[in-house]
């Protein structure tokens, strides 16, 4: 059943990883999904790990994928995206803030004083400020229709120590942003919440495991599309506003909504 047919979503940072899986999960439910990211392809079929490849995948899953190559560090490009959505669709139902810039040298250990100051900009730049900018552009489209869902993709790093100080600060900010946006959006019928996947089989994580820099049992890890099914379930819930301001995990919402990991179907 295509319960999100006719609904419009924007998923930021969706050329790969969790963003790609979320875009695919929304496509699986029939949504039109604008896929953003910096990696693009002019080839046909498009090269993997590009916005065009994800958009193509969204369409194959049953939705309508639309690729938009942009840099979320450039506010004007972000605003142009939402202006385009308004012109083309006259609505926006779902925004998934997922864009993130992995540092060139990921900080997986050591003290904050041992890391370059630039790590802060990587962890708290586009991955935190970028969420705020996209939400600021998306909110008027949702408010005009008195309904919409903003999902901030976070991690347990917002609640406990993971990787580094700057990583934790960025994720805690993502969670707090959802809580406070929920307060300000309440009177307009719009929902904002924060969502944390667990251990997920992203390309980055699998590469780190292959290089011996991280340990992960793939049989116990989540598919990226598991998060997509979670966002789709939230978007289909007529009472989703009751969850506004909350910080949830994909696993706990799977117990509530009954969606399954496609790797275990």
- Residues labelled as active-site residues: 167
Q: Could you tell me which residues come within 8 angstroms of residue 162 by beta carbon, excluding any fewer than 6 positions away?
A: 155, 156, 168, 171
In the block, which residue shows the tokens 């949830």? 248
DSSP string covering 150-182: EEEE--GGGTS--S-HHHHHHHHHHHHHHHHHH
User: Cα separation of 255 and 28, whole Å?
Assistant: 20
Nearest residue to 193 (alpha-carbon basis) of 250, 246, 131, 253: 246
User: Cα separation of 127 and 110, whole Å?
Assistant: 21
């Amino acid at each position: 059943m295509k319960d999100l047919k006719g609904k419009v979503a924007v998923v930021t940072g969706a050329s790969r990883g969790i963003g790609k899986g979320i875009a695919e999960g929304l496509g699986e439910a029939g949504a039109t999904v604008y896929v953003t990211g910096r990696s693009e392809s002019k080839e046909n079929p498009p090269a993997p790990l590009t916005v065009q490849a994800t958009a193509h995948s969204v369409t194959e899953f049953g939705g309508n994928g639309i690729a938009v190559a942009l840099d979320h560090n450039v506010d004007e490009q972000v605003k142009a995206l939402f202006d385009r959505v308004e012109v083309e669709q006259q609505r926006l139902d779902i925004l998934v803030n997922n864009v993130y810039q992995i540092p060139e040298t990921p900080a997986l250990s050591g003290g904050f004083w041992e890391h370059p100051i630039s790590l802060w900009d990587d962890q708290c730049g586009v991955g935190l400020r970028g969420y705020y900018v996209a939400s600021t552009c998306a909110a008027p489209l949702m408010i005009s229709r008195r309904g919409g869902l903003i999902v901030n993709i976070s991690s347990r790093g917002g609640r406990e120590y993971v990787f580094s100080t700057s990583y934790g600060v960025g994720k805690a900010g993502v969670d707090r942003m959802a809580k406070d946006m929920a307060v300000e959006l309440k009177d307009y019928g719009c929902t904002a919440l924060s969502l944390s996947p667990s251990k997920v089989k992203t390309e980055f994580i699998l590469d780190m495991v292959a290089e011996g820099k991280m340990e992960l049992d793939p049989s116990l890890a989540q598919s990226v599309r598991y998060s997509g099914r979670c966002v789709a379930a939230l978007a289909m819930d007529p009472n989703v506003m009751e969850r506004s301001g909350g910080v949830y995990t994909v696993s706990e919402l799977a117990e509530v909504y009954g969606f399954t990991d496609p790797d275990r179907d």
